[in-house]
Every structure is written in C-alpha cells, then in structure tokens.
Amino acid sequence: MESTFITAIQNIATPEVLLVIFLSAVYGLFVGSIPGLTATMAVALLIPLTFYLDNLSAIAAIVTLEACSIFAGDIPTTLVRIPGTPSSAAYTDDAYALTRRGLHETSLGISLVFSVFGGLFGALVLIFAAPQLAKIAFQFTTYEYFWLYVLGLSCAAIVSTGSRLKGALALMIGLMFATVGLSEVHSMPRFTFGFDELFTGINFIPAMIGLFGLSEVFRNTLTSKTYEAAEKLQSAVKEEDDHSLLRHLKPVFGGVLPQFWKRKFSWLRSSCIGSTIGMIPGAGADIAAWISYAVSKKFSNTPEEYGKGSLDAVGDATSANNSALAGAWIPALVLGIPGDSVTAIVIGVLLMKNITPGPEIFQNTEQLVLVHGIYLTFIIANLLLIPLGFLAIRSGSQLVRIPRRILMPMILMFCVVGAYSINGSYFDVWVMLGMGMLGFVLEVFDVPLGPVVLGIILGGQLEQSFVQNLTKDDSLLSFFNRPISAGLGLFCIALWLVPVIMPLIRKKSATT
C-alpha cells in the first residue's frame, strides 16, 4: 500500500506528467469557460491524444481537465449568464445577479474556493470509499453485474433532465446501437448491412464525438448570424483600467476565506451530497449541483435570497458539483460502471490502456500505482486550480468573447480528425457525422444524449451478462438466486415501478 503510493508520487513527479497536468488544466479552463463546450466534449476531444500518452499521463490529463473545466463553467455563468457547463446551470441566476451588483469577482472567488475544497473532499471520499467497495465487489458474479448494468442504465434514464420516458427512449436507442456488429456471445453478425466495417460494431468514441461535439456545431451554425456585433455576448462587466496585482487579488479572494469559514458546515453538507450523488451511476455533477442547491435553500436562514443573488447558493452548489467528479470515479473504477458521462469515456480509455476496471485493479500492484496516481492527480488538479483559476477569472471576460463563427469550424476540424484518428478509418468519420445529425435531432425533441452514450457503452456487456445468466440457468428466477443479486434486482424493479404506480395510488386515494 505505502510502497505503491510512493511509486505513484515518483511517477507523477516527472516533468512530462506535470507538464501534461498543467496543459490539461489550461485546456480545461479554456474549454470550460466557453459556453456550449462542455467538460464531456472536452474530454471526448482529448481521447485521441490520450492513446499516445502513457497510462498515468492519460488519466491525469482527464482528471485535471474535468476538475478545471467544471470550475471554468462558472466564469461565463457569472459574467454573461450562460452556463459554461451544464453543472453550472443550477445557480446561473444567483451568480449573474451578483455580477449585476458588481460583485462578480467575489462570486467567482467563492466559486473557486468552494470548488477547490469540494474537489478535495471528493478526492478523500474516493480514496477511502473505493477500496472498501472493491472488497464487496469481489463477490460479484454475472448475476450481480447484470443488475448493476440495469441499475446504471436506469439511473441514467431516470435522473437525466426532462421526461423520464424520453430518457428511456434515449437508452433504448443507445442499446440498439450496441447490438450492431458481431455479437460477442453468439458469434453472429447483426445489422451490418453488408458493411465490413460494421462487423466491429459502432465505435463509441466517434459516436460520442458526433453526439456531443458535432451536434453542438450544428446547433450553433443553424442559429448563427453573420454580423459580428450581434454575436458578442452581452456582459454586465465594465472595462477596467487599473492593472496592479493587489488590486486584482483583493476582490477575488478578499472576504472569501472568512465566508468559507463561516459556512464550513454547509460546505461539508454540500460536499457529502455531491460525492454521494456522483457515486450513483448516471447522475453527474449537474444533478449534484441541483440537489445541493435545493437542500441548501431548504436549510438556509435566507431562502428568499435564493435565485436573486445568494453567495451561499453559489458556494454550496459549486462545492457539490466539484465533489461529484471524484465520486463518479468510484463506481467506474470499482465496478466498471460509469458515474457520469466523463467517466463513461474514462472506462473506454482504461480498457484501451490494458486496464479492466473492476475490483481486481485494487489487487494488482502495477494498476494500484495507477489508482494512487488518480488520487494524487485529483489533489494536484484542485490545488493547481487556485492559481490558474484566479488567472482564468481575470482573463475570463476576454475568453467568453471568442466569436462562434471562428470557434465552430475549429471544433469541426477536431471532430473530424478526432474520429478519424482512433482507427485511421474514414468509416468512423461517417459514423461521427451520422451520430452528429442524430444528436441534433434528439436534442430538438428534447431527448437527453447521456443515456444514448451509456447505452452504446454498456449495451454489449448488458446483453452478454444476460445471455451468460440464461446459459447458466434458463429460468428467470435464477436472476434472484443470490442475496446481493436479489437485492439489486428488486431495487431496479422498484425504481421503474414506483413512478408508474404512485400516481395510480394517489388517484385512488383521491377518489375514495
């Protein structure tokens, strides 16, 4: 344990890895602070690069990128009232109201400090909870895994914003895509329509680049206007002339630390909520922020301020969304089930890097070094966020002004090259294009994209464990024959049935 930890420190403390961490932090801050570019998209665009990095650098890059872009999402939220990432959406009104009162730097300072401490709390939860959970997971057989896949997919559909039915529809679309190609358990090609390339199935990385990246390009170009003036985002921030350092530091950090000390208990509460929500498969930082916001309002002495510019709201929700990040890595590492869309990509990267997520990675020394490396990177990334985040706050008002007519062709180029580079195949670019159009259409109909991706990733494994279970014993009752699988199975069924039955019961009690 200790020796692997020391090895992990030694591995991280090399100039190459530190440079990768630094560059990812800058990239993360940049992408996160541009409205419309999400952390998930940033990670998806980074994937082709991670193939060529060594394991630790690749994972460190993703961790850093994630932590920094989630914070950076607060910058446009505060300055121009456009959430940089979906996880900032919960407190957009509060943050922007503060800006209009001229308190934007205090608000961003609060965001930064609470984000950093929330992130560190999440990292601690990851460090202590993951190995414990791995011990339990060592008892899991195909039956438990089947229910876990069902649980992960169900949560993604249920928790995602909008209609539950549409979440389920998105899930089915994703699962359908996963059945394309040669079925691993049957050795039979399905839905290949004579394309040899489809034998492998739909590669989920071009699919994801298309769904998240290209569809965003379409959304932007469709509503674009040609003249420059209309494109500049409206900001309430006035231009300043004074440029001395102290003059800059004071509004950002002044008063923030006392504020933090005053709200240490609510910080703890929000961080706990954040990391717990993060652990639930399918629920990510955005949902953590919403729930923490709601809880914070409920316990607040001044609930009437919420929505009209409450610093407490901003602080609580940002610490929750940052602690959710590390929480999401727990099921990803221990069970191979992603906690959010970023960790869904991470699992793909891990698999490509010779690491099969699962309880075994806590047994194998070499992989344990990597796990410790992940812990350390979470801590480093959050500490690095203090100086870099400060710089980002200062330069943020410039960053959000990059016109989209320049940004969109660039993103398009990265989408094409990114999709191509995974296998050096033009077919993957077609897949990316098709998925981009599908993603756009789905968004028009308000169907969430998260469950589609999760379906593509987990579909194969879900079907495999389903068939494996039926091969072991062809009665459906065998799915409940072990205590853990029975518990998980009943929980999954309840999850789907309760919202269906509840209205019926309510209606009945109303009529009697």
Where in 390-419 is the site for another protein (CB under 8 A)? 403, 405-406, 408-410, 412-414, 416-417
Please tell me whether residue 142 binds another protein under the rule CB under 8 A. Answer: yes
Is position 475 an interface residue for another protein (rule: CB under 8 A)? no
Stretch that binds another protein, among 12-20, 281-289, 360-368, 502-510 (CB under 8 A): 360-368
Show the tokens assigned to 127.
């460090």
Q: Which is nearer to another protein, 274 or 436 (CB)?
A: 436
Give start and end residues of each alpha helix (H) in 163-214.
Answer: 164-178, 204-208
**Where is 77: in which H helix or E strand?**
helix 74-80
CA distance 70 to 281: 19
Which residue of 2, 15, 52, 242 would you call a contact of another protein, by CB under 8 A?
52
Q: For residue 452, which of 468, 436, 472 has the smallest C-alpha distance?
A: 436
For helices 104-137 and 55-72, give the axis angle rounded to 10 degrees. 140
Half-sphere exposure for 289 (CA within 13 Å, toward CB) = 28
Size of the site for another protein (CB under 8 A): 89
Binding of another protein by 424 (CB under 8 A): yes
Contact status: 351 vs another protein (CB under 8 A): yes
Closer CB to another protein, 28 or 460, in the complex: 460
What's the min distance (Å) between Cβ of 357 and another protein?
Answer: 11
Separation between Cα atoms, residue 324 and residue 333, nearest integer Å: 15
Residues 6+ apart with CB under 8 A from 403: 228, 231, 232
Q: How many CA atoms lie within 13 A of 237 on its CB side?
A: 27
175 binds another protein (CB under 8 A): yes
Biggest distance spanned by C-alpha atoms of the chain: 75
- DSSP 8-state symbol, 148: H
**Contact between residue 32 and residue 39 where contact means Cβ atoms under 8 Å apart:** yes
Q: Does 3 bind another protein (CB under 8 A)?
A: no
131 is a contact residue toward another protein (CB under 8 A): no
> Which residue in 26, 295, 379, 470 binds another protein (CB under 8 A)?
470
* Binding of another protein by 147 (CB under 8 A): no
Is 466 one of the binding residues for another protein (CB under 8 A)? Answer: yes
- Alpha carbon distance 484, 490 (integer Å): 10
Choose which of 129, 233, 295, 433 interacts with another protein (CB under 8 A): 433
Question: Quick one: 259 or 421, whose CB is closer to another protein?
Answer: 421
Residues 98-127 that bind another protein (CB under 8 A): none
Strand runs labelled E in 326-366: none
CB of 394 to another protein, least distance (A): 25
Minimum CB distance to another protein, residue 117 (Å): 31
Residues 6+ apart with CB under 8 A from 138: 359
Among 28, 201, 327, 389, binds another protein (CB under 8 A): 201
Considering only the stretches 121-129, 173-181, 311-319, 393-401, report the one whose residues sit in contact with another protein under the rule CB under 8 A.
173-181
> What is the Cα–Cα distance from 134 to 145, expressed in whole angstroms?
13
Residue 461: closest CA among 187, 189, 197, 184: 184
Using CB under 8 A, which of 149, 353, 451, 452 touches another protein?
Answer: 353
| Contact mark string toward another protein, 299..338, x via CB under 8 A | ----------------------------------------
Which two three-digit tokens encode residue 158?
């249920």
Task: Choose between 182 and 249: whose C-beta lies nearer to another protein.
Answer: 182
DSSP reduced 3-state for 343: helix
**Dist CA 361 CA 384 (whole Å):** 27
Residue 478 interacts with another protein (CB under 8 A)? no
Of 10 and 365, which has the nearer Cβ to another protein? 365
Instruction: Single out the residue of 5, 22, 253, 420 in contact with another protein (rule: CB under 8 A).
Output: 420
CB 299 within 8 A of CB 327: no
Is 232 near another protein (CB under 8 A)?
no
Under the binding rule (CB under 8 A), the answer on residue 467 touching another protein is yes
Q: Select the residue interacting with another protein from 143, 149, 267, 362 (CB under 8 A).
A: 143
Position 87, amino acid: S
